């Protein structure tokens, strides 16, 4: 039993981790979050125990990188008397996808993380709880409240006439690279 | 997980992951974390896997060797920090293309011999001394590396050559003139001898 090539790790988990990053830090910062996650994972990979759960390990790293990115953003922000109108940094302005991503970013942090790690990262709530802290039951409640809030957002037909639903994301493989 | 989630959360822009993968390979190389880079190369003897460490070309593998199995073996023996990263293999791919186009008769590539040792490595490093277009017998090679009784061991060294083509084990044949075994299959060996004789 030896470790699989890291390329296979990227092929198996890259899609799910990218979805998680887009939900947690937004479309704009997701590429940096993904890149930093996989670079950190590559660095630590030789020391990872062979029986480790790769998906949970990667989501944990992505979680930390997302926190770093969000903190960095808050440091850059400076208080102003009135918030100026400006284009969304979360995607194409006016697109329904960006609108939904905006709705995700407005969820309370724990809900957003629980939705991302459970529904997009594919982790069971017991593992989500290990990543974000608290009990599995609290993680389940946060995930379910979060998805309900997103549903309510989607249920406003005038705002979002084109949004459809898809089956839950499981880690999709891009297949072996040539 | 029976609940459905909005496709806007799961749909990803076309090409984004490929772009991120390319960036990862570049970041990994500059952070000195790309222990093994690999790519494939189409050739007249089938798709070849090329893998290199920062020190040099580590492995050339035929399709019949099963590229996934070859990468798994490299992960175990050298490092699991392996990524598809064609750039490091540019020179090797170019020289192999030239070899198959018959515009190149010797290779001029840095090599990493990490996958062989001892007598096998001695035999393998001798192989480029057999001139292009010529063949030698296993017995002759055994004598040339200073161990004339080690004919079978020379056969094993050729059979386990991690760098076929570049270290030309296809130029070592049986004393009855038949080509003998080859990792890429006997047809590939015959084809390579014919290519060099043309």
**Which CATH number fits the domain that encloses residue A139?**
1.20.140
Mutation for testing the B interface, residue in A2, A3, A6, A104 having most B CBs under 10 Å: A6
C-alpha pair distances (Å), A121 with each of A60, A114, B98, B110, B184: 10, 10, 46, 42, 41
**A3·B80 Cβ contact <8 A:** yes
Q: What domains are defined for chain B? A: 15-100 (3.30.160), 118-197 (1.10.10.10)
Say yes or no to pLDDT of B91 above 60: yes
Instruction: For residue B97, give how far its alpha carbon lies from the nearest alpha carbon of chain A (Å).
Output: 18
What does the alpha-carbon distance between residue A11 and residue B91 come to, in Å, rounded to a whole number? 26
Output the pLDDT for position A83: 52
Using an 8 Å CB-CB cutoff, list chain A residues near B69: none
Say yes or no to pLDDT of B2 above 60: no
| Average confidence score pLDDT of chain A | 82
Mean of pLDDT values over A140-158: 84
B29 CB-near residues (< 8 Å, 6+ apart): B37, B85, B87, B88
Instruction: For residue B120, give how far its alpha carbon lies from the nearest alpha carbon of chain A (Å).
Output: 25
pLDDT tens digits along A31-80: 999 999 999 999 999 999 989 999 999 999 999 999 999 888 887 766 65
Active-site annotation of B, residues = 169
Domain count, chain A: 1
Say yes or no to pLDDT of A157 above 70: no
- Residue A169 domain flag: no
Say yes or no to pLDDT of B17 above 60: yes
Instruction: For residue B44, give how far its alpha carbon lies from the nearest alpha carbon of chain A (Å).
Output: 17
Say yes or no to pLDDT of A161 above 60: no
Output the pLDDT for position B46: 96
pLDDT tens digits along B124-159: 999 999 999 999 999 999 999 999 999 999 999 999
Q: Is A64 exposed, middle or buried (0-12, 13-18, 19+ CB in 10 A)?
A: middle
- Residue A130 domain flag: yes
Backbone angles phi, psi at B97, to 5 degrees: -55, -45
Mutation for testing the A interface, residue in B10, B43, B59, B89 having most A CBs under 10 Å: B10
Q: Is B178 helix (H, G, I), strand (E, B) or coil?
A: coil
- Residue A51 domain flag: yes
Domain, as residue range, for A36 = 6-77+90-154
Query: Cβ of A42 under 8 Å from any chain B Cβ?
Result: yes
Query: Cβ of B81 under 8 Å from any chain A Cβ?
Result: yes
Query: Cβ of A5 under 8 Å from any chain B Cβ?
Result: yes
């Amino acid at each position: 039993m030896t470790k699989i090539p890291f390329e296979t790790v990227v092929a198996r988990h890259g899609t799910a981790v990218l979805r998680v990053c887009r939900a947690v830090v937004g479309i704009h910062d997701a590429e940096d979050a993904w890149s930093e996650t996989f670079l950190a994972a590559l660095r630590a990979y030789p020391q990872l125990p062979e029986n480790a759960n790769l998906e949970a390990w990667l989501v944990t790293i992505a979680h930390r990188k997302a926190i770093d990115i969000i903190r960095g953003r808050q440091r850059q922000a400076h208080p102003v008397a009135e918030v100026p109108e400006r284009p969304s940094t979360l995607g194409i302005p006016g697109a329904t996808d960006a609108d939904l991503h905006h709705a995700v970013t407005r969820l309370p942090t724990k809900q957003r993380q629980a939705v991302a790690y459970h529904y997009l990262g594919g982790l069971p709530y017991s593992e989500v709880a290990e990543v974000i802290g608290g009990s599995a039951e609290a993680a389940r409640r946060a995930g379910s409240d979060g998805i309900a809030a997103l549903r309510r957002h989607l249920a406003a037909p005038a705002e979002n006439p084109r949004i459809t639903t898809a089956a839950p994301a499981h880690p999709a493989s891009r297949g072996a690279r040539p | 997980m029976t609940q459905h989630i909005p496709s806007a959360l799961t749909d990803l822009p076309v090409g984004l992951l490929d772009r991120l993968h390319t960036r990862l390979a570049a970041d990994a190389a500059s952070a000195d974390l790309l222990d093994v880079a690999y790519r494939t190369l189409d050739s007249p003897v089938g798709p070849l896997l090329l893998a290199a460490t920062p020190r040099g070309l580590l492995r050339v593998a035929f399709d019949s060797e099963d590229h996934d199995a070859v990468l798994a073996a490299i992960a175990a023996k050298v490092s699991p920090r392996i990524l598809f990263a064609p750039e490091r293999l540019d020179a090797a791919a170019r020289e192999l293309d030239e070899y198959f186009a018959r515009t190149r008769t010797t290779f001029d590539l840095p090599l990493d011999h990490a996958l062989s040792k001892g007598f096998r490595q001695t035999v393998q490093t001798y192989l480029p001394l057999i001139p292009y277009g010529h063949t030698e017998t296993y017995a002759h090679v055994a004598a040339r590396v200073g161990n004339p009784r080690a004919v079978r061991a020379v056969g094993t060294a050729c059979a386990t050559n991690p760098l076929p083509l570049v270290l030309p084990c296809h130029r070592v044949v049986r004393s009855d003139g038949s080509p003998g075994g080859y990792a890429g299959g006997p047809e590939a060996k015959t084809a390579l001898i014919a290519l060099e004789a043309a």
